[in-house]
Structure 1
C-alpha cells in the first residue's frame, strides 16, 4: 500500500472512531434537553397565574410549583452536564407545520429529529405527573 493510501486509511479510521452514533441513553438525554425547558416554562406560567389569583391556598400552590421547578432544574443541569461530557450539541432547527425540529451533533455524527407538538404536549404532562410524585 502506498504511503498516501495508508495515511488516508488511518485518517478514515480515526474519523470513524471519533464519529459514533448516540446511544439510547444519549438520545433520551437529547430529548430531555429539549423537553425540560418547555416544562419549566409551563410550571412558571402556571405559578404566575396562581400568584395573581385570589385562591385561598395560592401560597401552598406556589411553594409546590417552586419545588417542582427545583427538581426540573436539577435534572436539566444533569442533562446539560452529560451532553457536554459526551460532546453532544443540540440546537433548534426550524418549525414546520407547528412541529419542532432539532439538530444534534454527537461526536461528529449529525442528525435531526422532530417533536410533534401533540406528542410533546402529552409527554410534558406525563413528566409533570412524574415530578408531582416528589410531593408525596
Structure 2
C-alpha cells in the first residue's frame, strides 16, 4: 500500500493513464503472486496426478486387445492410441503451465485410502491428498471425456 492509497486529496489530481495502468498492473501482479494454491492450480495438480494412471489403464486395455480375436481389434487399438496422444498433450500442457506458475509436486506417502503429494508453490509447501474412490471417479470421468471427444472427432470426419 502506498502513501497515496486512502488519501482522498489525490483523487482530484490529474494522472497520466500510463501511470494509472502501471499502478493497477503492479497491484494485480502482487495479488497473483500469492503463495497459496489457487483452485485452478489444485485442479491442474489433480489432473497431472491422474493422467499417468489413465495412460497406464489405456495401455493395459490395448495390450489386452492384442490377445483378442475381435474383428474390430484394429479400430479399438487406433482409438486407444488416439486417447494416449491426447493424454500426453494434456500432460505436457499441464506441466508447462505449472512450471510457469512455479508450482511443483512430488509423491509423499500412501495411506490405505488416501494418496498424498507434497506441493511446493512459490516458496510455500502444502500437502495434497486424494482418496482412491475420488481417483477412480475422476479417472472414469476423464476417460469418458476423452472417449466423447474421440467420438465427436470421428463424427466430424464422417460428415
Unaligned runs of 5+ in 2: 1-31, 153-159
Give distance in 1, aligned partners of 2:73 and 2:48.
30
User: TM-score w.r.t. structure 1 length?
Assistant: 0.83
Is residue 104 of structure 1 aligned with residue 119 of structure 2?
yes
CA contact under 8 A between 1:93 and 1:102: conserved in structure 2? yes
From 141, 146, 152, give the equivalent of 1:131: 146
Give distance in 2, aligned partners of 1:76 and 1:41.
13
CA contact under 8 A between 1:19 and 1:106: conserved in structure 2? no
Is residue 64 of structure 1 aligned with residue 79 of structure 2?
yes
Is residue 31 of structure 1 aligned with residue 46 of structure 2?
yes
Misfit runs of 4+, over 3 Å? none
Give distance in 2, aligned partners of 1:18 and 1:71.
31
From 102, 109, 113, give the equivalent of 1:94: 109
Instruction: Tell me the C-alpha RMSD between the 2 structures.
Output: 1.5
User: TM-score w.r.t. structure 2 length?
Assistant: 0.72
Unaligned runs of 5+ in 1: 1-16
Question: Based on CA coordinates, which of the two structures has the bigger radius of gyration?
Answer: 2
